[in-house]
Amino acid sequence: MIELEVDGRQIEARPDDTILSAVTRHGIDIPTLCHMEGLPPSGACRLCVVEVEGNPALVPACSSAVAPGMKVRTHTPRVLDARRTIVELLLGSHPDDCLYCARNSKCTLQDLSENLGVRQRLYRGEKTVRPTDVSSPSITRDPDKCILCGRCVRVCEEIQSVSAIDFAGRGCDAMIATAFDRGLNLSTCVNCGQCIVACPTGALRERSYVDEVVAALADPGKMVVVQHAPSISVTLAEEFGTKAGQDVDGKMVAALRYIGFDRVFDTSFTADLTIMEEGSELVQRIKDGGPLPMLTSCSPGWIKFLEHFYPDLIPNVSTCKSPQQMMGAVIKSFFAEREGVDPADIVSVSIMPCTAKKFESSRPEMAPEHIPDVDYVLTTRELGHMLKMFGVDLMAVEADTADTPFGERTTAGKIFGASGGVMEAAVRSAHFLLTGTEMAELDVQPVRGLEGAKEIHTKLGDLEVGAAVVSGLGNARVLLDQIRAGRDDLHFIEVMTCPGGCINGGGQPLGADIEAVKARMRALYRIDREEEVRVSHKNACVQRLYDEFLGEPLGEMSHRLLHTSYARREDLAEAGSKD
Amino acid sequence: METKVIEEAADIERVLEKHAGAGRDHLIPMLQEVQERCGYISKLAVSRIGDHLDLAPSKVYGVATFYNQFRFQPKGKYHFMVCRGTACHVKGSLKVLDMIRNMLDLEPGETTRDRLFSLEVVACMGACGLSPVVNLNGEFYAKVTPKKLASIIKECREEENENEQD
């Protein structure tokens, strides 16, 4: 342990601490713009400067190591003045239009300006005027609001290993851009939205479909049906100011109904259905000898990543559509038929933790006969926004239950929202499919938790099975490279695009730290612990859907409605030759 | 046109061969050599160099755009270099530059769609005594005024028209 003095107080630090990490642990808040938890410091924004005795210059706390006997002062007038000047300079070239900004009241730059007492426009620099990139169905990029902190670039490269964007140009012309500054839709962007979560300003935001949904709800000729993903009920409350980890499933259902949705369904239902299809597919592949390992297909960012970077592994991916798209497909087929409604008159909306789901729903193969299975995807944040627009105080709403037949779920479908959840649900049902008996202990602890890569080797009946769970595409890349190099001890791999899974998705409430993500995860496993039906194959409504409509898992009807295919994506060179 | 694309691709491959097994520190020399051979950095070049050095295209593009020396569109048949050095600036090179931009609807680094004209801004050509200086396809034009420049561009166009009629 190292002792140092901070603002006249003795504190203890670890030898590998920076000044920032040491003082933060002791409850002293030093502002930062470019710092990212868990990644090496970049030291770009200089907001975290502090005074260190014996050092004539201010030093950045994020990238200065602690030393024994060091005397640090974190909030002297000189320090505060330096920080305020930095913010004032940033504002000098910022559009300064907070009232019209999607991030109004959720913006780090705005908070800093408030906390540091910026009260006048001291610097009036040239404002950047560049077109907003609206090419992507998931992410809107407004370069004018960008302060070049580089957090989006880092998350895209260092966490997701996608590197769709980087710094381009120099000096006043510097900007964040894709290769050749093409639209995001033409880049390798996988639409995960982690850049949105990382962005301190309004430069990155989801492509919003709130207006379209509001219009649909007001249209008497439309039947508007909504589904909500497993993780939404444990994160939505944060949009209303509560602490992370509160499950508001019933309140959310009631609120959705109140604002006018005709039916409220639970995507966890089709998560259960996914387990039936994907589990059967896995068992069939094991019996028929491959291709193995089978890779999960529910995370659309991951699917696009695979199509760009690992097209040779496309045969390994499950052909199952994601739960969102399965729900969309059964709504516009079975449900439409049962209700006697023309599928063209149904507006199918989904509430997702994810921006990539917006892209997924727009894939042409997800729109048979040009009628999309899912019309609009809203993120958790957009739903929060919409409820406020409709004057709904979520926390005061009386809880209600979802509609039949797609409102019933097991907890196996619910835990899809956390990394490892799909695997755990699959293991529970695969055990039953292979042996005819239930597992004695349903908890599969080794696949739980926030670690980026988890593995389990277990026996299902007589069969020795190897399975891996990865979240965050950088972790996926490591494992996929091993598979490419010939690793063959794995049968099944769950891949989630975002670190920790959907509970940390790019569409989730902003400002969540790792503790908040853990709390969200605990909330899902609490539901799993407390409810009775914990295996997907016991979902009675799923069984009925097979009896009345689908036939059997992997049957002809399933194949047509619930399965899909993937294709290699064109790279820059091929695209360039057409320009 | 088609043969030009094939030639460019072959040129890029030659640069890659020369830097076989190279690390990321070869990025800038490789970009320079590609530009030397092809006259510009194409999408194909960025993609191929990226593959070669295990760098994302956005990174290669990011590095390349940091330096003024790289252009991303092929040079036009008439390539204007406008000096924006101190002496030329004092003698009114900004007006000259604006004239080209307006007449050809062209920004520095760009090429007209018909591939006839391209524009480049340089810091100093070492001909300060002749300022403001414009260089067209290697030929220096001294003490250029917007009016003089307009007639140079007009001449280029007339030359093109004659070529077409032939």
pLDDT band at B5 (very low <50, low <70, confident <90, very high): confident
Closest alpha carbon within chain B to A180: B61
Residue A215 lies in a domain: no
Which residues does chain B have within 8 Å of residue A157's beta carbon, measured at their own beta carbons?
Answer: 56
Q: Within the 59-78 window of chain B, which residues sit less than 8 Å (CB to CB) from chain A?
A: 59-62, 65-67, 72
**Class for the domain spanning B78-165:** alpha beta
Å between A29 CA and nearest CA of chain B = 34
Digit-coded pLDDT (tens) for B76-93 = 999 999 999 999 999 999
* Total domains, chain A: 3
- Is A489 part of a structural domain of the chain? yes
Residue ranges per structural domain of chain B: 2-66, 78-165
Q: What is the CATH number of the domain that holds A150?
A: 3.30.70.20
Q: Across the interface, do B57 and A169 touch by the CB < 8 Å criterion?
A: no
Do A95 and A68 have their domain in common? Answer: no
* Other CB atoms within 10 Å distance of the CB of residue A234: 30
Min Cα–Cα distance to chain A from B142, Å: 30
A281 catalytically annotated: yes
A268 is an active site residue: no
Inspect the interface and report whether the beta carbons of B62 and A180 lie closer than 8 Å: no
On whether residue A400 sits in a domain, the answer given is yes
Give the span between the Cα atoms of B73 and B43, in whole angstroms. 10
Q: Which of B43, B59, B72 sits opposite A573 (nearest CB)?
A: B43
| Residue in A closest to B66 by C-alpha | A169
Any domain includes A523: yes
End-to-end CA distance of chain B: 21
Q: What is the pLDDT of residues B114-157, one digit of tens each?
A: 889 999 998 888 889 998 999 999 899 999 999 999 999 999 99
What percent of chain B clears pLDDT 90, i.e. is strictly above it?
75
Q: Write out residues 164-203 of A within 8 Å (CB-CB) of B.
A: 164-170, 177-181, 187-188
CA distance B2 to chain A (A): 10
pLDDT tens, residue by residue, B146-155: 999 999 999 9
Cα separation of A351 and A343, whole Å?
20
Last residue of a domain, one of A181, A206, A231: A206
Residue A267 sits in the same domain as residue A402: yes
Instruction: Please tell me the distance in Å from A247's CA to the nearest CA on chain B.
Output: 41
Nearest 5°: phi and psi at A453? -140, 125
Closest CA to A575 of A188, A136, A305, A153: A188
Residue A104 lies in a domain: yes
- Asked if residue A577 belongs to a domain, the reply is no
Listed as own residue / partner, the contacts of A331-339 with beta carbons closer than 8 Å and 24 or more positions apart are: A331/A225, A331/A227, A331/A265, A331/A373, A331/A406, A332/A371, A332/A373, A333/A549, A333/A561, A334/A545, A334/A548, A334/A549, A334/A550, A335/A225, A335/A263, A335/A405, A335/A406, A339/A223
Contact A180 B44 (CB under 8 A): no
What tokens were used for A82? 């330096």
Tokens for A570, please give them.
Answer: 């064109």
From the list A21, A138, A268, A318, the catalytic residue is A318
Domain limit, last residue, from A29, A51, A75: A75
Q: Is the pLDDT of residue B70 over 90?
A: yes
Looking at the domain assignment, is residue A83 inside a domain?
no
Are residues A118 and A187 located together in one domain of the fold?
yes
Summarised one tens digit per residue, pLDDT across range A258-306 is 999 999 999 999 999 999 999 999 989 988 888 999 999 999 999 999 9
With CB atoms and an 8 Å threshold, state whether B62 touches A167: yes
Q: How far apart are the first and last CA of chain A?
A: 60
| Residue range(s) defining the domain that contains residue A32 | 2-75
Q: Do B56 and A164 touch (CB under 8 A)?
A: yes
Who's near A75: CB < 8 A, 6+ residues apart?
A7
Same domain (yes/no): A165, A259: no
Q: Give yes or no for residue B1 having a pLDDT over 60.
A: no
Give the model's pLDDT for residue A579: 59
- The maximal CA–CA distance of chain B, rounded, in angstroms, is 53
Round to whole Å and give the CA distance between A233 and A214: 21
Is B43–A188 a contact, with Cβ atoms under 8 angstroms apart? no
Chain A contact for B111 (CB, 8 A cutoff):
no
pLDDT of residue A404: 84
Instruction: Note whether A572 contacts B: Cβ–Cβ < 8 A.
Output: yes
Clarify whether residues A68 and A98 are in a common domain: no
Amino acid code (one letter) for B43: K
Query: Is A576 inside a domain boundary?
Result: no
Residue ranges for chain A with pLDDT beneath 50: none
Q: Are A318 and A439 part of one and the same domain?
A: yes
Please tell me the predicted confidence (pLDDT) of residue A578. 61
The answer on A143 and A59 residing in a single domain is: no
If asked whether residues A229 and A348 sit together in one domain, one would say yes
Mean pLDDT score, B95-112: 92
